[in-house]
Chain A
Amino acid sequence: MNILVCISNVPDTTTKVTFNANNTQFNTAGVQFIINPYDEIALARAIELTDGGNGTVTVIHVGEAANEPTIRKALAIGATDAVRINAPAHDAYFVAVQIAEYVKQHQFDLILTGRESIDYNGSKVAAMLGELLDLPSVSIIKKLDVDGTQATVEREIEGGKEILTIPFPFVAGTAEGVAEPKIPNMRGIMSARTKPLAVVEPVEVKTFSEIISYETPAPRGQVKLIAADDVAKLVDLLHNEAKVI
């Protein structure tokens, strides 16, 4: 089976988030960028499903050349080849249209994304790809098993889970539980240098959203400490002062 894994380039999870002076742009100075952690889960599962020559894993990324180390890492982890759509990722719709255009010209049985990116937290690309390609999509899956021409997936719902079967091709957004992220080994790192990385120019897209400003959450007041031998005081404060119980 041929699997397409969509990866995004995001700030490392330990990043302290800051913005430029007028709060219109994320400050990238000193920030290390990584493969979006949920996309790494998708990649790991794709590699497992194609293990032993049972297909190919293509990673696709919409972004500029500066993001290629992230793509090479995906190749080092075990992807077969990679595609970079040469444009800044304006928003989820822009990204989804670029990937959909690529998919229309290539055959994939399964398209995987992470459930969301940890920077803008949209869960949009998987569902948008489904709509643009008229394919079924499942946005947040916790398990993915393949059986012949269909897959069984587990989808999280509030207060439980659903088990679904879906024929190929379809799009899914993966979350924790689907696979354990893989760490590249030396052989993978060496071979990643020579694996194919195609650069494709973007198609024109009319987008409808623009981030116009950022802000950080308002600082909280100082913690009110309660003595360990006066726990009832906490309950009293939560009831009478904070009014949350």
Chain B
Amino acid sequence: MSVLVYAENAGGKFKKSVFEAVSYARAVADQNNTTLTAISIGDVSADELNTLGNYGAHKILNVSADNLKNFVNQAYASVIAKAAEAEQADVMVISNTFSGRGLAPRVAVKLGAGIVDGAVSLPETANNKFTVKKTAFSGKAFATVELTSANKVIALIANSYKVTENPTGAKAEVFSVESKESDFKAMLKEIIKSADKVSLPDAEIVVSAGRGLKGPENWGMIEELADLLGAATACSKPVSDAGWRPHSEHVGQTGIAVSPNLYIAIGISGAIQHLAGISSSKVIVVINKDAEAPFYKVADYGIVGDAFEIVPKLIDAVKAYKALA
């Protein structure tokens, strides 16, 4: 038996979340004294594919066909299930990305596998039980889930496992799969990229702002601070509801849950629904003029003050730090 990890590419490149998933999957393979196979689907260069070996993949499968250039949920699930069968894999690791969340459950059903999505820890295998910790209640809690099936699927949340170098020297090899025509009913028409922005779910730093900013015209300084820090921008629900920022930036219980290394909340009071979506951030900074704002109860660092005074000073301070760095 072995472990299989799906390496999702974005425009032919692997993102950090893939290397996290490969590192995690290698640790799972080591726990079980077995090997790790990585599978990539789509157009990815040999050099890029071979980087998967740097993080512990013993074998790298490359599936490349014209009809598989772009992500198609049904077809990709079939390919991964076939690879799992060919490799006799009993644990499948998939990143808990937007695509992964549609893919992992289909793979699980195909393989008759139990699934843990939103996973944040390595499996525990004591007493012949296989348990994995996952987020629950939108970040207000964690649940430990036991999987009792022979095959298992784990969807790993970004930023929850450290990228670990473990070079194997593995080289990519071709894996051929015949796809069913009926797997391609969903047709991609267009991909619209956000301009030069850091993707919120995988961001290591997030700069987020709320109603304290008073209006969409004041977001320039938030974007400037985010650019300086290489961060993604986010917002609270009232802000996206008001149309100041797109829904895709809404972080919280009914928006995106994030787990960056650093979350900077500016002019957000910290309603329970917002805190739910950011509670797994490693370090939280709050800037709010209300010293009684609930956000200060969960923050690591805080500055009590008006965003319009503090943020420009913070921008200057980051510029000064960058000049020194």
Residues of B within 8 A of A159 (CB): 10, 193-194, 197, 199
The residues of B that contact A213 with a CB separation of less than 8 Å are: 143-144
Q: Does B22 interact with chain A (Cβ within 8 Å)?
A: no
Main DSSP-derived SS at the A contact region: mixed
Complex-state Cα separation, A165 to B186, whole angstroms: 6
Bound-state CA distance A165–B254 (Å) is: 26
Report how many residues on chain B are interfacial, defined by Cβ distance under 8 Å.
Answer: 100
Complex alpha-carbon distance, A237 and B193, angstroms? 35
Among the listed B115, B142, B276, which residue makes an inter-chain contact with A209, where contact means beta carbons less than 8 Å apart?
A: B115
B114 near A: Cβ within 8 Å? yes
Contact present for A127 and B187 (CB under 8 Å): no
Residues of A contacting B280 with CB < 8 Å?
Answer: 217
- Give the residues in chain A near B200, CB-CB below 8 Å: 158
Q: Are B303 and A234 in contact (CB under 8 A)?
A: yes
Q: Mostly helix, strand, loop or mixed at chain B's interface? A: mixed
Contact between B148 and A239 (Cβ–Cβ < 8 Å)? no
Given the interface contacts A224-B302, A231-B310, A235-B318, does A242 sit within 8 Å of B262 by beta carbon? yes
CA of A137 to CA of B110, assembled, Å: 14
Residues of B within 8 A of A139 (CB): 73, 98, 101-102
Cβ B282 vs Cβ A17 within 8 A? no
* A223 contacts B145, C-beta separation under 8 Å: no
**Nearest chain B residue, comparing its CB with the CB of A139:** B102
CB pair B101–A140 under 8 Å, yes or no, is: yes
Chain A nearest Cβ from B276, distance in angstroms: 8
Among the 9-residue stretches A80-88, A104-112, A118-126, the one with 4 or more Cβ atoms under 8 Å from chain B is A118-126
Chain B residues near A125: list those with CB within 8 A: 105
CB distance from A207 to the nearest CB of B (A): 8
| Interface residue range, chain A | 35 or more
B86 contacts the other chain (Cβ, under 8 Å)?
no
Whether A13 and B106, one on each chain, are in contact in the complex, defined by CB atoms closer than 8 angstroms, is: no
The chain A residue sitting closest to B189, CB to CB, is A163
Q: Name, among A19, A118, A167, the residue most crowded by chain B CB atoms within 10 Å (CB to CB).
A: A118
- Please indicate the chain A residues that have their CB under 8 angstroms from the CB of B145 in the complex: 209-212
Which of A19, A130, A161, A224 is B106 in contact with, Cβ under 8 Å? A130
Which of B170-178, B212-220, B292-300 contacts its partner?
B292-300
State whether B101 touches A123 (Cβ < 8 A): yes
Closest-by-CB residue of A relative to B116 is A209
Complex CA gap A240/B86 in Å reads 49
A209 and B146 in contact, given A13-B273, A123-B101, A158-B15 (Cβ under 8 angstroms): yes
**One of A38, A131, A208 near B114 (C-beta < 8 A):** A208
Question: Do residues B314 and A235 form an inter-chain contact, with CB atoms below 8 A?
Answer: yes
Asked if A238 is at the interface (CB within 8 A of a chain B CB), the reply is yes
Q: Which residues in chain A, 127-185, are within 8 Å of chain B measured between CB atoms?
A: 127-128, 130-132, 134, 136-140, 142, 152, 155-167, 170, 173, 175-177
> Is the CB of B279 closer than 8 A to any CB of chain A?
yes
B317 with A209: CB separation less than 8 A: no
Identify the closest chain A residue to B78 (Cβ).
Answer: A131
Q: Is the CB of B283 within 8 A of A127?
A: no
Q: B102: shortest Cβ distance to chain A, in Å?
A: 3
Q: Is B147 an interface residue (CB 8 A)?
A: yes
Query: With A158-B97, A176-B247, A209-B147 as given contacts, are A215 and B317 in contact (CB-CB < 8 Å)?
Result: no
The verdict on B29 contacting chain A, using a C-beta distance below 8 Å, is no
- Given A119-B137, A161-B192, A176-B247, does the pair A136, B301 have CB atoms closer than 8 Å? no
Residues of B whose CB lies within 8 Å of any CB of A are: 10, 15, 71, 73-74, 77, 97-99, 101-106, 108-110, 112-118, 131, 134-149, 182, 185-194, 197, 199-202, 204-205, 229, 240, 247-248, 250, 253-255, 257, 261-262, 272-273, 276, 279-280, 282-286, 296-305, 309-310, 313-314, 316-318, 320-321
What are 22 A-to-B residue pairs whose CB atoms are below 8 Å?
Answer: A93-B109, A96-B105, A119-B136, A126-B102, A127-B104, A130-B106, A131-B105, A136-B185, A152-B189, A159-B10, A159-B193, A162-B188, A163-B191, A177-B247, A216-B140, A217-B280, A223-B296, A223-B299, A235-B320, A238-B262, A242-B262, A244-B282
